[in-house]
Chain A
C-alpha cells in the first residue's frame, strides 16, 4: 500500500467485537489487511465509537476477539493494556496535553529505539517531532501551546503525534467533526497523504462520505450494532443495500416488484430486462431525477405525453407525475421529496426559483432509464 516501497508499519487487524449493554448490542466483524484504510460509517448510535474503543483497549469486550498481527489483544479473558497494543486512537477531541508545546506533544509519542542513551534520545525525539510537524504542514509553530493553535492545527498536531508512535493500527473516530468545512478539506488531504506514507492499518470512523471516497480503500457500514454492508468504497456506494447507504451514496432506493420484465412501484414503471420476477429495488441517483412543475413549460409537457397519471416511456426516458411532500433546504439549494413512489430529487437555488414548487404541488419527474439500476431484493 505504501508508495515508493516505504516500510509498512501496519499490521493486520481482525476483530469480532461483541459488546452487550442494557438496550444495546454491538456484534460486528471488521478486518483490515496491513496498511489498508477502512472507513466505517453508520447512523448515530450504531456502535462505531464502541467498536474503536474496544480495538483501542479502552473498553472491555463481552464476547469475540480482536487480533492485531495475529496476536489476541482483546477477548473476554484477555485485555492487553492500551499502551501495549501499538494501536492509537485519534478522536474528535485531539486531547493535546495543554501544558506541553506542540513539539513536546509530538515528542511525547515519538518512539526511540532502546539502544540510544537518554540525552541522545531526547535530542532525537525533538528533531523527529519537528519533522513530523513539518510533514503535517505545521513548520515553525512547534513552540506554541495547544491553546494558541486553531482547531485544525490542533488536530494536525494530534495526527502528527499519533503517527510519531509508528502505530500498527491507527483508529480515527470522527476527527474532523468539530472543524469547519474549509479546514476539513485541507486536513483530509494531509491525513490521506501521511497515513499512506506511514503505511499503518487504519480504521476511519466518519459521517462524511467524502472521507470514505477520498481516503479509504474499503467501506464498512454499521447499522444498529451490525455490519449491514461492506466492500470496496466504490462497490458499496454504487450498489447500496440499505436505505442508509443509499442516502450516503445520493441514490434513491425505491422498493418495487418486477412482473414480466417490467419493474413497478406506484405510478412508475421501468423496463427491467434480465431481472427475475419478484421484489426488486430500483437505484435511481438523486442527481439523475429531473423536475418540472406541472403547468410550467406546457409545450414540453405535452410533447412528452398527454396522460399525466400514466407513466410514459419515450426514447428511454421515464416520466411521471408526483406530489411534493416536503422540501428541505440544503447548502446548495433544496431537496424535494415526492411520494408514491418515494423519490427524492435535488434542485439548485436557480432551479428552485424557476420551478416555483411548493409542498403539495404536483410536479413532473423524469429520469433516463440508462441511469437506473434494478436489482432483485
Chain B
C-alpha cells in the first residue's frame, strides 16, 4: 500500500521515486565523510597550540582580510556586470555568460599563470606598471587579484540569475511612477535581487578564502604577506620538519570559519517575509 505522508508543513512530499534515496545519501556521504575523517585526525594535545601559533593566526587574518577585499571588488564590479548580462538579449547574454564561466572551468593555476603573463614583470601590463614603480606579483594585492579572478564568476552568475528571474515588470512600474534610474536601482532592482545577491556574496567569499592555485602561482607563499590559509595548510603538510598535525589543525580552522559564515548568513534573512 502506498501512503503519501504529508510533509512537516502539511504539504505532500511530492512523488519522487523512493529508491533515489540511496544515491542521495551516498552523495551526502561523499561530501561529509572525508571531512569527518579530517576531524578524526585532530590531535587534541597539540590542537590549541597549532591554531594559535603566530603562523596560523597570521594566515587566517590574511585570508579573512584578502577574502573580504576580493569580495568587495567582486560586488563593485560583479553587480553591474550581472545587470548588463541580465538585461541583454539572449544572444549577447549567452556570449557574456560564457566568458564569465570560463574561470570556473579552468584549473585556478591556469588563472595564476595568465595573471603572471598579464601583470608579471614582463607581462603586457606589468612592464608598464614596472615603469611607474608598481610591482604586483608576490604582494598582498596579488592575493586579492587572484581571489577576485576565481571568485567573481560565482557572484555574477548568482546575481544574474536572480535579476533575470525578477524580470523588468517592477522596474517598468517604478519608472511609470516617475522614479529615475538610480532610484529604481537602489529601491527596486537590488532589493528584489537580494536573495541572489546574498547567496552570490557568500559563495564569492567562501571561494576567495579557499583560493589556492592562482594565489600560489601569482602571489607566492610568503608568510605574513601572501601566505593565506590554504597555502599555510599546504606548506604545513609538505613542509620538512613540520607535523601533519599542524596541517590538520589549520584545515579544521578553515572549515569552522567557512561554516560560521554560511550559518550566519542563513540566520540573517533580509525582509523577514518573503
Chain A 122-142 near chain B by CB (<8 Å), digits 1 or 0: 000000000000000000000
Contact partner, B172, options A82, A111, A147, Cβ 8 Å: A82
Contacts A82-B176, A83-B176 given; indicate if A95 touches B187 (C-beta within 8 A). Answer: no
Stretch of A85-93, A177-185, A240-248, A320-328 with 4 or more beta carbons under 8 angstroms from chain B: A85-93
- Chain B residues in 8 Å Cβ range of A337: none
In the complex, what residues of A have CB within 8 A of residue B174's CB?
97, 108
A81 within 8 A of B: yes
Q: Kindly list chain B residues whose C-beta atoms are within 8 Å of the C-beta of A148.
A: 273
Inter-chain contacts of B179 with A (CB < 8 A): 83, 108
- Find out whether the CB atom of B175 lies under 8 angstroms from the CB atom of A82: yes
Q: Quote the shortest CB–CB distance from A216 to chain B (angstroms).
A: 22
How long is the Cα–Cα vector from A93 to B273 in the complex, in angstroms? 21
Residue from A87, A93, A98, A147 within 8 A of B176 (CB atoms): A87
The verdict on A162 contacting chain B, using a C-beta distance below 8 Å, is yes
B191 at the interface (CB under 8 A from A): yes
Which bucket holds chain B's interface residue count? Answer: 10 to 19
Tell yes or no: A226 within 8 A of B by CB: no
Q: Give the CA-CA distance A361 to B172 in the complex, in Å.
A: 55
Q: Mark A106-129, 1 if CB is under 8 A from B, else 0.
A: 001101000000000000000000
B159 to chain A, nearest CB (A): 16
A254: interface (CB < 8 Å): no
Q: Tell me the number of A-to-B contacts counted with CB atoms below 8 Å.
A: 50
User: A82 — which chain B residues lie within 8 A by C-beta?
Assistant: 172, 175-176
- Chain B 171-191 residues near chain A, CB threshold 8 A: 172-180, 187-188, 191
Name the contact of B178 in the complex, choosing from A89, A98, A99, A165 (C-beta under 8 A).
A165
A194 to B235: give the CA distance in the assembly, Å.
74
B191 engages A99 (CB within 8 Å): yes
In the complex, A86→B178 CA distance in Å?
7
Contact between chains at B177 and A165 (CB < 8 Å): yes
Q: Which residues of B contact A83 (CB under 8 A)?
A: 175-180
CB pair A88–B176 under 8 Å, yes or no, is yes
Interfacial chain A residues near B191, Cβ < 8 Å: 99
Is A147 in contact with B188, judged by CB distance below 8 angstroms? no
Residues of B within 8 A of A97 (CB): 170, 173-174, 187-188, 192
Q: Contact partner of B192 among A86, A89, A99, A165, CB < 8 A? A: A99
Given contacts A82-B172, A99-B271, A147-B273, contact A109 B192 (CB under 8 A): no
How far apart are the CA atoms of A148 and B273 in the complex, in Å?
A: 10
Question: Within 8 Å of chain A (Cβ to Cβ): is B169?
Answer: yes
Chain A, range 59-93, C-beta contacts under 8 Å to B: 81-83, 86-89, 93
Q: Chain B contacts of A81 at CB under 8 A?
A: 175
Measured in the bound complex, the distance between the Cα atoms of B172 and A98 in whole Å is 14
Choose one: B169, B173, B178, B273; the contact of A111 (CB below 8 Å). B178
- B169 contact set on A, CB distance < 8 A: 93, 95
Q: Bound complex: CA of A56 vs CA of B176, how far in Å?
A: 7
Query: B187 to chain A: which residues have CB within 8 Å?
Result: 97, 108
B177 contact from A98, A99, A147, A162, Cβ within 8 A? A162
Chain B nearest CB from A126 CB (Å) reads 15
Q: Which residues of B contact A162 (CB under 8 A)?
A: 177
B172 touches A58 (CB 8 A): yes
* Pair A88/B192 contact, Cβ less than 8 Å: no
Q: B178, A109: Cβ atoms under 8 Å?
A: yes
Contact partners of B188 in chain A: CB under 8 A: 97
A95 touches B175 (CB 8 A): no
Query: How far is B179's CA from A333's CA once the two chains are assembled, in angstroms?
Result: 49
Instruction: Give Cα A359 to B179, complex, Å.
Output: 59
Q: Is A161 an interface residue (CB 8 A)?
A: yes
Q: Of residues B173, B174, B175, which shows the largest number of chain A Cβ atoms within 10 Å of its Cβ?
A: B173
Nearest B residue to A88 by beta-carbon distance?
B176
Compute how far the CA of A83 lies from the CA of B173 in the bound complex, rounded to whole angstroms.
10
| B46 vs chain A, min Cβ distance (A) | 50
Q: Does A145 contact B (CB under 8 A)?
A: yes
Q: Contact at B170–A95, with CB atoms within 8 Å?
A: yes
Q: Are A95 and B173 in contact (CB under 8 A)?
A: yes
Min CB–CB distance B63 → chain A (angstroms) = 34
B186-209, CB under 8 A of A: which get 1 and which 0?
011001101000000000000000
- Interfacial residues of chain A within 205-229, with CB under 8 A of chain B in the complex: none
How close is B34's CB to chain A, nearest CB, in angstroms? Answer: 40
Q: Which residue in chain B gives the minimum CB-CB distance to A87?
A: B176
In angstroms, how far is the closest chain B Cβ from the Cβ of A57? Answer: 8
Residue of B nearest to A58 (CB): B172
Contact with A along B201-223 (1 / 0, CB 8 A): 00000000000000000000000
Q: Which residues of B contact A145 (CB under 8 A)?
A: 273
The answer to whether B177 touches A88, judged by C-beta atoms less than 8 angstroms apart, is yes
| A277-307 Cβ-contact flags toward B at 8 Å (1 or 0) | 0000000000000000000000000000000
Known contacts A56-B176, A81-B175; 20 additional CB pairs below 8 A are A58-B172, A58-B176, A82-B176, A83-B175, A86-B178, A88-B177, A89-B176, A93-B169, A95-B170, A95-B173, A97-B173, A97-B174, A97-B187, A98-B170, A99-B192, A108-B174, A148-B273, A161-B177, A162-B177, A165-B177
- Report which A residues bind B (CB closer than 8 A): 56, 58, 81-83, 86-89, 93, 95, 97-99, 108-109, 111, 145, 147-148, 161-162, 165
29 A–B contact pairs at CB < 8 A?
Answer: A56-B176, A81-B175, A82-B172, A82-B175, A82-B176, A83-B176, A83-B177, A83-B179, A83-B180, A86-B178, A88-B176, A88-B177, A89-B176, A95-B172, A97-B170, A97-B173, A97-B188, A98-B170, A98-B192, A99-B191, A99-B192, A108-B174, A108-B179, A109-B177, A109-B178, A111-B178, A147-B274, A148-B273, A162-B177
> Top 5 nearest A-B pairs by Cβ distance?
A95-B173, A109-B177, A82-B175, A83-B175, A99-B191
